[in-house]
Amino acid sequence: MGRRDRRSLAVTFAVAIVLVLAAAVIAGEVQAAIKLVEAGLSPTEAASQLGLGRSRVYREVAAARVVRKAS
């Protein structure tokens, strides 16, 4: 294996690590949004507070079958 191959492999590995970490952060933010909606916040407000897309939060809340508390 040449120097370029090792460097390319190292870059590929580093990118994979960054993508995995980013996915973990996003998953945590989505879970936080779901908790906020369960607590009575609207999905729009939860998305705004966490910096997530409104449609993403609505989609995830629907997928999790979350029932919003009446306020």
**pLDDT tens column, 32-63:** 999 999 999 999 999 999 999 999 999 999 99
CA distance 70 to 55: 21
CA distance 9 to 41: 45
CA distance 1 to 20: 26
Give the mean pLDDT of the chain.
87
Query: According to the model, what pLDDT value does residue 44 have?
Result: 95
- Residue-level length of the chain: 71
CA distance 60 to 43: 10
Determine which helix (DSSP H) or strand (DSSP E) holds 20, and give its type and residue range.
helix 3-38
Query: According to the model, what pLDDT value does residue 1 have?
Result: 66
